[in-house]
Structures are given as C-alpha cells and as structure tokens.
Amino acid sequence: MAQKLVSKIPEGPLEQKWTRRKKEMHLVNPNNKRKLEIIVVGTGLGGASAAASLGELGYNVKVFCISDSPRRAHSIAAQGGINAAKNYQNDNDSVYRLFYDTIKGGDYRSREANVYRLAEVSASIIDQCVAQGIPFAREYGGYLANRSFGGVQVSRTFYARGQTGQQLLLGAYASLNKEISHGTVTSYPRHEMLDLVVINGEAKGIIARNLVTGQIERFGAHAVVIATGGYGNTYFLSTNAMNSNGSAAMQCWRKGAFFANPCFAQIHPTCIPVHGDQQCKLTLMSESLRNDGRIWVPKKMEDVIKLRKHEIKPSQIAEEDRDYYLERRYPAFGNLVPRDVASRAAKERCDAGFGVNETGKAVFLDFSQAIQRLGRKKVAERYGNLFDMYEKITDSSPWEEPMMIYPAIHYTMGGIWVDYDLQTTIPGLYAIGEANFSDHGGNRLGASALMQGLADGYFVLPNTIGDYLSHKIMEPKTDINAPEFAEAERAVQARIERLFSIKGSETVDSIHKKLGHIMWEYVGMARDEEGLKKAISEINALREEFYKNVRVPGTQYEFNQELEKALRLEDFFDIGELMAFDALNRRESCGGHFRVESQTEEGEAKRDDANFMYVAAWEYKGKGEEPELHKEPLNYEFIEVKTRNYKD
Amino acid sequence: MNFNVKVWRQKNAKAKGHFETYKISGIESDASFLEMLDILNEQLIREGIDPISFDHDCREGICGACSLYIDGRAHGPDDHVTTCQLFMRHFKDGATITVEPWRSAAFPVIKDLVVNRGAFDQILQAGGFISVRTGSAQDANNILIPHDVAEESMDAAACVGCGACVATCKNGSAMLFVAARVSSLALLPQGRAEAKRRVQNMVAKMDELGFGNCTNTRACELECPKGVKISHIARLNREFLKANFRD
C-alpha cells in the first residue's frame, strides 16, 4: 500500500525544485489541447483562476458551481489581504522568509518543497492581479501599499480595503468571463457535483445535479479538478458561507482519493461572539484589525462582573486594570501572534472566568489608542467597512467601545491528499486551494489562503496537469454512456430516493446543529482521547437518528434547498468522524490541533516530532469500516525544525 | 418578537405566484432577517408545508446572493445593507412584513423568492474584463496609480452584483451595475486599452437582455448595499459617448 503515497518532490536544491519539475514535464501542443476536456468543480479563487488559465491555454473546460454565479464563491468573503514576497517595503522580506514563516506558522507539518514553490510564485500573483485591474490599496505616490499580518515580522500583505478576497475573486471571475466569451470555457452555475466517475482507475467525469430542474446529469472529461474549498461547516457554526461544504471531497475520498490531516482545522481568534441559539453563521472580523487593535480582558474579576451586568462600560476600565494578555505572554509578536496561539489564549482567559459578555465567551479588541494615535480618518480608511459591519450586526460602535470577539471555526488546513503536482491518489484527479492539504501544515497564516488558491490555479496546476494530459492526446472524448457513469448515476439516484423515503420529523438543520455541538465540544479548541472517542460514538448515533428521522420535503425534480442540505449533511457525518479519527491518532499538539494530553507546564502546545512528523493520509475502506492510515514522512532538508516561539 | 410574514410563493418559473401569510413568534431582536426566515422554514417543515426558497450564502453582505424585496424596498428598511445584514430590531413587534423576489423582466423567478440573475453574468462576459493572459503581466509597481484614483476605482469595484439597483428601478435598468464595472476599469491605466470595446459591448448586451433605460431617478444609488454612486453612471455615459463619437 505504501507505494501509493508518492509525493513526487523533485530532487535538488529547494530553490531549483520547481524549475526542475517544469523542465521535466511533457507539453501538449495547441492543436491537441483543443481536443482535451477538463472539468473544474468550484469557482472560488482556485477554481476560477484554474479554469480561466486552462481556457487561455486552449483546453476545453467545463466549470461548475453551486451558486447562481461563479462570483459568489466564498473566497469573496476573505477580508484582510494576500501575502507576496515582493519586499516593496525594504524590510528584508524574501521568498525564503515567506517560505520560512509559512512552514513555521504551520508548526512544521507541511512540505518544504510545496511551500517554497508557493512563496516563489507569490510575487507573480500580485503582478497578475494588478494587470487584471484589481484596485489594491496605494500610497500617495501611486505605489502599492502593504500591511502586516499575524505570525510574521514584515509587511508583505497586499489589500483592497477589507474586501481583498472579493476583488481577487472578481479578477479571476473576469478572466473566467473572458474565456467563456471566447468559448474555451463552458459555465454550469447552479450545478452540484454528487459523485466522481472513475474508469480503469482514472478520473473521467462527474455526476451532477442541476439545482434548478433537479435532473441528474453526466459530464465526461480527460481530467477532473476539485476546487470546492474546505469543510469548516461540519461544525454548523463557522465563518464559512452557508452553502460551503465538503461533499465533493468526500465523494472523491469514497472513490479512492486519500484524505490528509483532516483534524487540522483553523479556529480564527477574531469573530463576533455567538448570541443566543437562533444563529446559523458566525462573522469574522479580519485579522488585519490586529495590526492596530489591542486585545484585552479586565485584570479584576469585579470589573468582569460589572461588565456582564452592564453596570460599567469597557471604556471606563482604567488602563492599569486591563490585561493585554497577548502582549503579556508573547512580547515579540504581541497582538500579531498566529491564529491558533491567539485563539487558545482567548479560550484560556475565558475559561479562567474573565470573558466579558453574558455568556463569558468574549474578549475585547480595542481601537481607542489607535484612534488617538492615527486619527479617525486614517483608521476609517483602513478598517471603516469592518467597523460598519460590526456595528450593523451588534448595534455597538467600535468608535466608542471596544469590539467583542471570540474564536470560531474558519478554515481547514486538511484536505484531499495531493502530490507535488497537485494530483490526488486517483490519476487524473487534481485538488487545489483549500480543498487540498499541502501548504499550511497544522495552521495557516493570515493572508495565505488567497495566495495559495491563486498560486495553485494560475501558476501550478496549468503546468502540472499538462504533464498528465500529454499522455492522453490519443484518447477520445470520455463516453458518458460507459457503465461506470450509469452505475454512479444509479447510486446518486438511490441516495436521493432514500432521503425522501425517510419522512421523519426532524429538519436537516436541527440535526446539523447537533453535529456542530458534538464537533465543537470534542473536536474543537481542546481535544482529548476520551472526548474524541465520545465524538465518534455520538456522530454514529446521530447519523442513525438522521436516517431514521430526517424530513426532506418536496421532490427531487424541482429547486429544493432542503434536499441539497440533506445530501451535504450526509457527507459532514463522514468528515466529522474522519476528523475525530485523525485527532485521536495524532497524540501531539500541533498548530490548530491541541491535545490536552500534550502541553507544556505553561499550557503551550507540545509537538511530538519523533512520533508525528508525518502527513496522515486516510484511505476509505467501505461503509462502517475504519479508514486505513498511510503515513507520508515529512523531511526537512533545508530548515531547522524548532519549537515555535512567539515570545522573544 | 412576533411577526406576520407575508411571502410570495411560486412553485416554479411557469407557475402563477401568490402571497401566503405565516405567523412567527419568539424571534430575538438581534436575529438577522434571514435567520428569521430560517426559523420560519423550520416551523413550516414541521407543519408539513413546503419551506420558502431564497438565495443566500455568505451572510456577511459580500457574496451578493441574497435578494429580497421587503416592505417595498430592495434589501428592506435599513440603508446600505444586503438582506443578510438586515436585523429584526429594525421592525416593529407584531408587524406584518411583506417579502417578494426581485421583480424584473430580466430576472425571471425560479421559485418563491429565488430569481435567475444570469443576465448579469452575460453582461460581464460581453466585456467586463481586461484581456491579460496568466503569466504575461509586468511587475505590479510598474503601473503607478495615484491613491485617490485607486480609491475611486475601488468604490465602484465594491459592487456585489446583487441586482438591487435593477429591482428598485422603475425602468428595471441595469445602468448602475454596468457603470460600476465600466467605471472601475476605465479609471485605471490597465483598463484603457479596451475601454471603447468594453463599454460598447456591455451596453449593447444590457439592451439586448431586456433591461430598461436610465432616467436618473437615483433610486438605485439609494438602495445599493455598497453605496455605489450614480457619478459612475455619468462616467459610463461619457465613456459611451466618447466611444461612439470616435466611430
């Protein structure tokens, strides 16, 4: 089995690996490209940039999204920025430093070669985006502006107000539109992939449901690219969009693609706290706020009590009575420690009883000093739209009182296992962006998700997929009447019919909420063996309840959002269980994965490099069977592996 | 809080629609409008009634999916928000709230409150881009763009493509949407090379798809959740005149 995990990392010095790999690759000539078909599922930064770039190259591309337009993909909601090693600030930034920060930020659980390539192409991304007309923030002289993000000591983040993801996605979407108008790309909005079709061990197409008519449709190709994002919504409450889901990844997993490091989920420290139980979605407040905002809770318990009773306002608490706990614990990085560290520190203060709202699950993010130092105009230019958004939601103005924030599920570092070429364990199946696992290790740094999505889509995949397709130039169009397509369609149809036949009394959302509670309680910010085992048994019990008691109204052949949700929830059960399995296996604390059994005396995460310096890639073994673990060892040839230190 | 929700129900594109009124109680004032609809849907499903279909996704006011016409206003009674950022504290306890889909010939209803806004994609496909191939760009700082120009371009680029401008316009005009894209790119040096083709093709496509004409009522500007100004329509008109004058 072990030979299945061939990472294909090229030999040679780190800075020559990508060049060397590109040199080795076979090419496809323009006449042949026209005959080759590629399916891209998902239209976020990864999917849209890949589909556009593949269309430009002359391939025949079909692109699918579940929304009414490719522009709605959840990349659009990324706020703060995108990293690139331009060193425009002359602050001694470099490709090496971006590479190093990313490896360290990921707590030494990502591949050196992949991360170096990411840093290497980062500068080209900014060039590309500016050429597309993306209005990045500028200095008065007309040059590009930068800001700083967590886990780094340079300013390398490019941004467009607090809407960087939106602008980058609109750029990729515009490129996609250009290719659609040229006829190289065909767009299928409101289509949801429901299965992968594998013929003779190779990915050859997908089964999708037309979400308007409800028809099940077959689509064939010479290769399939999964760009469907992460699985944060397993937790029900997260910063992900309501329709974000991990179903395509699970379909690939069940068809033989390995799934790597599922337990690595990122909990973002600065989200608007949960209010009541009617909520369905958590809102992120950009990490960029930590550039100028200071995080604190009161030092004295009596102040906490008064705050909760609304007897005093936070601004009335004297400076010396405030505990700026990140600055206290991590002097070198202060409020700009990485996300996992900041989240755990907030939890620590709240668990100790210092949470500042009624639920005891909130800390302050304070701009009063920044407003004094920079003036209202400057602060408004940097964060105005975020302040407005906060005020709309909470009815409280950050100009007058500090924001209240608390950690929430935000991003998943784990994903479909891919080799250096971004190919999965199924030949012809590729995974890019958040849907794969490769670049962020145990924790992703801020402003690096946009970078990775676009690096994969614009600069990596268009090269690597050509190497695979060069061997397919004589292969005719995939026949969608092949028995494998018929079989996959039958299975999808059976799945849908089963859901309608249950006719229970519980709604999909009410069961999903229960799954979310299990996940947050036992597979959340702190995990231990007992809790994880409990999570697995509770998920299984809940799955049984789902199949006995869910109610899916309406019919298949209509626009039916409840059916969509029910199908996704089936897959969230599988992911949740897989996350718990992986978390149970990884008996170390690492990045966003904190095992209570593995911590230092000061309560900091304790990694176990001797036993866990590997990628955990899980293989599906059938319904109800335990997945099989495959290990890809991580070799650090070029950097020294250290304990992460953000203190000095 | 308690409400009567009067909702447009329409089985599919071909069916005839009608209003239905549902009672809902126990809503927190901090709940969002869409959370209220989620709770109403839970209630309807339990009562054996088909839940109300509506488009939504990010729930942060940025994806542009949500698109409800509430009490006679696109995105409801608050200013400069998308429907998902509208909160129940803006309604009186006990009120009857009327909820309709976007009404425009160019946006046919798919089901209930869900409409097809594919026409927007088609307009952008006609020219809402800069033709640069991946990999052919020069260094980003070789293109200098003064701070204020970049900011103005960004003001227009903030458009989320929700369609509130069309829904609120008595003519069903898409001018603000088209202007946002044309203006954002026309302001930038990178966008100048194709400025003429872009404006001509996008305006022609807009006309072809059945959107109405602009009569400067400014309703679109008032309801735009991102505050895109009609000064961008003025720039669109200038660009259009310039392009046609040259012909």
Summarize pLDDT for A82-138 with one digit per residue, the tens.
999 999 999 999 999 999 999 999 999 999 999 999 999 999 999 999 999 999 999
**Residue A648: what pLDDT?**
76
**Residue A150: what pLDDT?**
81
The mean pLDDT value for B209-229 works out to 96
Residue A374 in this model has a pLDDT that exceeds 80: yes
User: In chain B, whose CA is at the least distance from the CA of A507?
Assistant: B42
User: In chain B, whose CA is at the least distance from the CA of A144?
Assistant: B141
Which alpha helices (H) appear in B54-159, and where do they start and end?
A: 118-125, 147-157
B55, burial (CB in 10 Å: exposed 0-12, middle 13-18, buried 19+): buried
CB contact (8 A) between residue B144 and residue A279: no
pTM of structure? 0.97
The mean pLDDT value for B126-148 works out to 97
The mean pLDDT value for A289-318 works out to 95
CB contact (8 A) between residue A278 and residue B35: yes
**Residue A278: what pLDDT?**
81
Name the band, by pLDDT with cuts 50, 70 and 90, for residue A80: confident
Contact indicator for B83, B67 with CB cutoff of 8 Å: yes
Instruction: Tell me how close the Cα of B197 comes to any Cα of chain A, in angstroms.
Output: 13
Query: Chain-wide mean pLDDT for chain A?
Result: 96
CB contact (8 A) between residue A143 and residue B133: no
The mean pLDDT value for A468-486 works out to 98
Partner-chain residue, chosen from A53, A126, A551, that has the shortest CB–CB distance to B134: A53
| Contacting residues of A for B60, CB less than 8 Å apart | 77, 283-284, 389
Instruction: Tell me how close the Cα of B133 comes to any Cα of chain A, in angstroms.
Output: 7
**Residue A275: what pLDDT?**
82
Rg (CA), chain A: 24
ipTM computed for the complex: 0.98
User: In chain A, whose CA is at the least distance from the CA of B139?
Assistant: A127
Catalytic residue among A339, A444, A568, A607: A339
- For residue A77 the two structure tokens come to 């909601």
CB contact (8 A) between residue A458 and residue B135: yes
Partner-chain residue, chosen from A141, A180, A558, that has the shortest CB–CB distance to B125: A180
Dist. CA B233–CA B237, nearest whole Å = 6
**Residue A581: what pLDDT?**
97
CB contact (8 A) between residue A130 and residue B133: no
**Residue A2: what pLDDT?**
44
Collapse the DSSP code of A50 into the 3-class scheme (helix H, G, I; strand E, B; otherwise coil) and give the result. Answer: helix
Q: Is residue A270 left, alpha or beta, with left meaning phi > 0 and alpha meaning psi from -120 to 50?
A: beta
pLDDT tens-digit map of B72-130 = 999 999 999 999 999 999 999 999 999 999 999 999 999 999 999 999 999 999 999 99
In sequence order, the β-bridge partners of residue B18 are B9
The mean pLDDT value for A635-645 works out to 91
Name the band, by pLDDT with cuts 50, 70 and 90, for residue A1: very low
**Residue B17: what pLDDT?**
97
Partner-chain residue, chosen from B62, B126, B185, that has the shortest CB–CB distance to A181: B126
CB contact (8 A) between residue A166 and residue B81: no
Partner-chain residue, chosen from A173, A392, A551, that has the shortest CB–CB distance to B85: A392
Instruction: Tell me how close the Cα of B235 comes to any Cα of chain A, in angstroms.
Output: 17
The mean pLDDT value for A142-157 works out to 92
Contact indicator for B231, B126 with CB cutoff of 8 Å: no
Dist. CA A330–CA A133, nearest whole Å = 39
pLDDT tens-digit map of A585-596 = 999 999 999 999
**Residue A49: what pLDDT?**
98
Is A490 tagged catalytic? Answer: no
| Contacting residues of A for B117, CB less than 8 Å apart | 68-69
Dist. CA B198–CA B130, nearest whole Å = 9
Name the band, by pLDDT with cuts 50, 70 and 90, for residue A438: confident
CB contact (8 A) between residue B121 and residue A139: no
A&B contacts, CB < 8 Å = 221
pLDDT tens-digit map of B158-202 = 999 999 999 999 999 999 999 999 999 999 999 999 999 999 999
The mean pLDDT value for B50-70 works out to 97
Q: Is residue B24 left, alpha or beta, with left meaning phi > 0 and alpha meaning psi from -120 to 50?
A: beta
